[in-house]
Structure 1
Amino acid sequence: MPEGDSVWQAAHRLHSALAGHTLTRSDLRVPRFATADLTGRTVLDVTPRGKHLLARVEGGLTLHSHLRMDGAWKVYAPGERWRGGPAHQIRAILGTADHTAVGYRLPVLELIRTQDEEQTVGHLGPDLLGPDWNADEALRRLLAAPYRPLGEALLDQRNLAGIGNVYKSELCFIARVTPWLPIGELPTPERLVAAAKRLLEANRDHPGRRRTTLRTLTPPLYVYGREGRPCLRCGTSVRLAEQGDGSRARPTYWCPRCQSGQTP
């Protein structure tokens, strides 16, 4: 599932291509909204909210999408070949005179009233890359369930919005604790919240290197995806186990020497 920085980048690309322009093509290929026609309406803005994308159009409507694991928005110039996947995977097409935005494999796509956006994204915690960011509120939400494993708490978008499975493992390594440590036992949890903010901000403007922790590192990740390979800090083999996030288990990486706390 894309991290908050990649969703921010997708929103930025869509906003740059569509905002302020009138739609000349509109095709929503999901049964519920297949007859909806947005042509003739001006795109006002495209805004990320955590891992959600909100494309607001004239007339008080918002096209809400979520990429989850496989979804993607691609932007094409007139005459450019579409390379995001086969035609049967296209779920949305929004076109202007200058660009066409194509949504592939979108598991969530719905047209809602702009005034009702809070019903869709109002449950989210403070957005790490949004104007509503509030570190104190994010910390309060994280610590509200002190016995919850840190990794699960970080993935819960109701606490703070934007952290995915990659950053979960990387942040726990930076904090030198395992993802199974109860969050109430984490020393100086406010430092972890600040690190999450810095990490996403550092990567949001670098599409090709969005998952880095230190840009001088090769490879750029401390532990994620490095099972059986030596820890970049101490040389111990990185381990892998599954960890739930409230909905399903996720692959989780950690160094058994550098990170203290509970393990599976």
Structure 2
Amino acid sequence: MPEGDSVWQAAHRLHTALAGRPLTRFDLRVPRFATADLTGRTVLDVTPRGKHLLARIEGGLTLHSHLRMDGAWKVYAAGEPWRGGPAHQIRAILGTAHHTAVGYRLPVLELIRTQDEAEAVGHLGPDLLGPDWNADEALRRLLEDPARPLGEALLDQRNLAGIGNVYKSELCFFARATPWLPIGELPAPDRLVAAAKRLLEANRDSPRRRTTLRALTPPLYVYGREGRPCLRCGAPIRVADQGDGTRARPTYWCPRCQLGPTP
């Protein structure tokens, strides 16, 4: 699933291509909005909110999308071939005189009134890359349930918006705590919140995500490195699913550097 930095980059590409320009093509290939036609209207801006994308269009309308696991927005210059996937996977087409944005495999796509955006994203916590960022509020939300496992609390977008499975594993490594440690037992949780903000900002403009400090090392400390040596202590990295059984996610950690319960 794309994380906050990836969604921010997608919003930036869409905004650069579409904002301030009238639509010459508007095609939503979902039954509920298949007849909607906003050609001629100007795209005002494209804004990320956590892992959500909000494309605001003249006339008080917002195209709300969420990428989840497989969705993607691709931007093509006029006349450029579309290579984002087969035609049957296209869910949205927004075209201007110079660019076309094509949404592939979008599991969430809806046209809403801009004044009603809170119904779609109002449940989210402070956005790590947004103007509403509030570290104190994010910390308060994280600690509301002190018995909750650290990894699950970090993934809950109602606490702070933008963290996905990669950053969850990496942040737990930074905190030297297993993802199953009750968050109320984590020393200095404010440092974890600050680290989350710092990591997403550092990767916001980068095409390749990196949490390690040295360019010649692997880009990530633990995520995707099962069985490989920990970059800090050399112990083999482990992996196990974490979640409520309906949305279990592979979770990586170092059994020597990170303290706390494990499966």
TM-score by length of 2: 0.98
**d(CA) in 2 for partners of 1:125 and 1:231?**
32
Q: What are the ranges of 5 or more consecutive residues in structure 1 without an aligned counterpart?
A: none
Deviation at 1:214? 2.5
**In the alignment, which residue of structure 2 is the partner of 1:42?**
42
Is the Cα contact below 8 Å between 1:142 and 1:153 reproduced in 2? yes
Q: Deviations over 1:129-164 (max 9, x none)?
A: 000000000000000000000000000000000000
Deviation at 1:35? 0.3
Task: Quickly say closer, same or farther: Cα 1:171–1:237, change in 2 above 3 A.
Answer: same
Task: Quickly say closer, same or farther: Cα 1:88–1:215, change in 2 above 3 A.
Answer: farther
Is the Cα contact below 8 Å between 2:170 and 2:211 reproduced in 1? no
**d(CA) in 2 for partners of 1:245 and 1:162?**
20
**In the alignment, which residue of structure 2 is the partner of 1:259?**
258
Aligned residue pairs, count: 263
The aligned amino acid for 1:229 is R
Is the Cα contact below 8 Å between 1:152 and 1:246 reproduced in 2? no
Deviation at 1:212? 3.3
Deviation at 1:247? 4.7
Deviation at 1:211? 4.2
TM-score by length of 1: 0.98
Is the Cα contact below 8 Å between 1:173 and 1:255 reproduced in 2? yes
**d(CA) in 1 for partners of 2:140 and 2:246?**
22
**In the alignment, which residue of structure 2 is the partner of 1:250?**
249
Deviation at 1:20? 0.1
Deviation at 1:215? 4.8
**In the alignment, which residue of structure 2 is the partner of 1:148?**
148
Task: Quickly say closer, same or farther: Cα 1:217–1:139, change in 2 above 3 A.
Answer: farther
**d(CA) in 1 for partners of 2:206 and 2:95?**
26
What SS is found at the alignment partner of 1:65? Answer: strand
Is the Cα contact below 8 Å between 2:72 and 2:106 reproduced in 1? yes
Is the Cα contact below 8 Å between 2:209 and 2:219 reproduced in 1? no
For 1:1-264, what aligned pairs fall within 5 Å after superposition?
1-207=1-207, 209-244=208-243, 247-264=246-263
What SS is found at the alignment partner of 2:117? Answer: helix
Task: Quickly say closer, same or farther: Cα 1:206–1:131, change in 2 above 3 A.
Answer: same
Q: Deviations over 1:67-107 (max 9, x none)?
A: 00000000000111111000000000000001000000000
Task: Quickly say closer, same or farther: Cα 1:15–1:246, change in 2 above 3 A.
Answer: farther
What SS is found at the alignment partner of 1:181? Answer: coil
Q: Deviations over 1:37-89 (max 9, x none)?
A: 01010000000000000000000000000000000000000111111000000
Task: Quickly say closer, same or farther: Cα 1:211–1:69, change in 2 above 3 A.
Answer: farther
Is the Cα contact below 8 Å between 2:230 and 2:236 reproduced in 1? yes
Q: Stretches of 4+ moved more than 6 A in 1?
A: none
Q: CA RMSD in A?
A: 1.0
**d(CA) in 1 for partners of 2:113 and 2:27?**
18
Q: Deviations over 1:202-242 (max 9, x none)?
A: 000002x1243435252111000000111111110000000
Task: Quickly say closer, same or farther: Cα 1:138–1:84, change in 2 above 3 A.
Answer: same
Identity of aligned residues (%): 89
The aligned amino acid for 1:190 is D
